A and B are shown apart, each in its own frame.
Chain A
């Protein structure tokens, strides 16, 4: 069996999600190749070649691939599939945008958001925001999967695969990149962070959200996340959202501040190793998943926590 993994990358380097999807591919068994599609993405292709257990890297380079828009990505990937039995995408916004388009071109029903691999054709995935988990058997001759990276342990970077160039798609497309507002931050990226400090609607305003969470995040070297309620209320930008329809995270430490713990939020963070909840409502559902719960008003609890962390030498 030959499996193609579509890399998540920023042209210069490969994101950790790629190593996790390679782990899922290895669990299916067979040869695993990685596709790096981008613009001036030589750095990312070289990085992908170091991922453990990769047979070879396919590198497609062209301005049309700079933003990995769905149409050119589909035109690139679909013909490559004559040489593969399965293609795996990370379940990121880029992967989720492209994968179904490739699947439909191949006349394949995709398996979305895979969180477990039980064999070459049997996969585990959540439905109903993680309230039910299904095991599906996919006996289609070609398989298209999106893989939830946080559900797999990243393979290492001790390999040395060859890099092969494939042509970028030519021709014109009916969609065009106009611009982007990508949050610039010195903090770690939410989905890759080892620690996350996350805020909810209880924080009451955007100013308060940042005033309370930013110093704590900086102290812990953590990324900042938010509940959907906080994002909907405009306290935090959309890319902070953790949950069923936002980002799924699994850090070593997740600190939920003023988050009640709606089921769709829990779906996005319940695989965190240690969960801390600070909430003044002792009946908040977040306490049902928290390892350590502190029933307190964040207004007093967070400054105290900052002091205690300082005392503890953090």
Chain B
């Protein structure tokens, strides 16, 4: 089985987000960029399918291919996936913001060429928080989808996926090939070891462009303004539970 894992380069999740004073966007200059945490979970799961582990048989996956759509530096994000254990990478070079619809169209082109049996993606990127690419890709391919996965069991040409839903957990079967998107608790990604980081430098990365797949990446949505969120005023410190209950009575919420 071949597994394809798309990965996105985003602002490191530990860093503070700063809105540019002129409201034209979020300031990303000279800030550390990292692999999107949900994508990292997707890579880890795919690599476990290859190595065995996480309930997967060894060699359930024969090959894991990491794909990133982004600027030249997205190579680093692919190297990150290769250091976790992916076999090779594909960089589709695109500047500026690429919306999920265009990403899904490019990925469809990659999938038409690569013919993977399974595609695992992060459920959302922590920059634009869209939570859309996996579902859009499944639609374009007419493949079944299992989003927000917290457990994946592969058997007999299908994946049994436990999904985190509002009311609890839901389990569905999807016939392969299929699209799966990862939730936080699917696994805990490893730290790549130094030897594996060194090895990753030698793994091949193909470079493509959106035009190779006939995709126009011009955004459909126009961002008119980017603003700081409204600040909530800090209230007061109360000294005791009695004072707290008194205040809550006063405000009328009790």
Interface string of A237-277 (1 = CB under 8 A from B): 11100001101000011000000000000000010011110
Secondary structure call for the B interface: mixed
B175 and A175 within 8 A (CB): yes
A-contacting residues, B215-254, CB 8 Å: 219-229, 232, 234-242, 244-245, 247-249, 251, 253-254
A304 to B241, CA, bound (A): 6
Given contacts A104-B136, A110-B132, A132 and B248 within 8 Å (CB-CB): no
| Chain A: number of interface residues, binned into ranges | 35 or more
Complex CA gap A136/B146 in Å reads 29
Shortest C-beta distance, A113 to chain B (Å), equals 7
Residues on the B chain within 8 Å of A27, using CB? none
Give A276 to B171 CA distance when docked, in angstroms.
Answer: 36
Known A105-B139, A109-B220, A309-B245; further 14 A-B contacts with Cβ < 8 A = A71-B145, A93-B166, A100-B134, A104-B140, A126-B129, A131-B17, A132-B17, A134-B223, A175-B146, A178-B160, A178-B173, A181-B168, A294-B241, A301-B241
Is the C-beta of A140 less than 8 angstroms from some C-beta in chain B?
Answer: yes
Tell me whether A128 and B253 are in contact in the complex, defined as CB-CB below 8 angstroms, given that A103-B101, A111-B221, A175-B173 are known contacts.
Answer: no
A-B contact pairs, 13 of them (CB 8 A): A70-B144, A98-B135, A103-B136, A104-B140, A109-B101, A112-B130, A128-B11, A177-B171, A180-B171, A239-B167, A275-B232, A293-B235, A301-B241
A210-244: CB near B (< 8 Å → 1, else 0) gives 00000000000000000010011000011100001
- Residue of A71, A104, A107 most packed against chain B (CB within 10 A): A104
Q: Answer whether A247 and B166 are a contact pair too, CB < 8 Å, given A70-B138, A100-B100, A133-B228.
A: yes
Tell whether, in the assembled complex, residue A93 and residue B241 are in contact, meaning their CB atoms are under 8 Å apart.
no
Complexed CA–CA distance, A239 and B170 (Å): 11
CA distance A270 to B245 in the complex (A): 21
CB of A101, distance to nearest CB on chain B (Å): 4
A294-B237 CB under 8 A given contacts A112-B129, A136-B221, A136-B223: yes
Which chain B residues numbered 183 to 240 have a C-beta less than 8 Å away from chain A?
183-185, 219-229, 232, 234-240
Tell me if B34 counts as interface (CB < 8 A to partner A).
no
CB distance from B179 to the nearest CB of A (A): 10
Q: How far is the CA of A228 from the CA of B26 in the complex (A)?
A: 25
Q: Does B99 contact A (CB under 8 A)?
A: yes
Taking CB atoms, residues of chain B closer than 8 Å to A228 are: 184
With A132-B19, A182-B167 already in contact, the answer to whether A70 and B253 are too (CB < 8 A) is: no
Are B244 and A112 touching (Cβ within 8 A)?
A: no
A191 to chain B, nearest CB (A): 7
Residues on A facing B (Cβ under 8 Å): 67, 69-71, 74, 92-94, 96-105, 107-113, 122, 126-140, 173-183, 191, 195, 228, 231-232, 237-239, 244-245, 247, 252-253, 270, 273-276, 282, 287-295, 301, 304-305, 307-309, 311-312, 314
Give the dominant DSSP class at A's interface.
Answer: mixed
- Taken together as a complex, chains A and B put the C-alpha atoms of A128 and B12 apart, in Å, by 11
Q: How far is the CB of B71 from chain A (nearest CB, A)?
A: 19
Stretch at the interface among B48-56, B72-80, B109-117, B120-128: B120-128
| A312 in contact with B245 given A100-B135, A293-B235 (CB within 8 Å) | yes
For B99, the chain A residues whose CB sits under 8 A away are 109
> B136, B172, B221, B251: which contacts A100 (Cβ < 8 A)?
B136
Report yes or no: A127 in contact with B127, Cβ–Cβ below 8 A.
Answer: yes
Check A133 against B168 for contact (C-beta < 8 Å). no
State the CA gap A138–B225 with chains docked (Å). 13
Contacts known (A136-B222, A140-B220, A289-B234); A101 close to B253, Cβ less than 8 A? no
Nearest chain B CB to A28 CB, angstrom units: 16
Across chains A and B, which 9 residue pairs bring their CB atoms closest together, nearest first? Answer: A291-B235, A100-B135, A104-B136, A304-B241, A104-B139, A100-B132, A131-B17, A109-B220, A175-B144
Residues of A contacting B146 in the complex (Cβ-Cβ under 8 angstroms):
175
**Beta-carbon contact of A292 and B238 below 8 Å:** yes
Of B136, B140, B242, the most chain A CB neighbours within 10 A belong to B136
- Which residues in chain B, 118-165, are within 8 Å of chain A measured between CB atoms? 123-124, 126-140, 143-148, 150, 160, 163-165
Residues of B within 8 A of A112 (CB): 129-132
| Chain A CB within 8 A of B178 CB | yes
B169 within 8 A of A: yes
The reply to whether A129 and B174 contact each other, CB–CB distance below 8 Å, is: no
Q: Is the CB of A133 within 8 A of B240?
A: no
Cβ 8 A contact of B237, one of A104, A107, A191, A293: A293
Question: CB within 8 A of A70: which of B135, B164, B165?
Answer: B135
B69 to chain A, nearest CB (A): 15
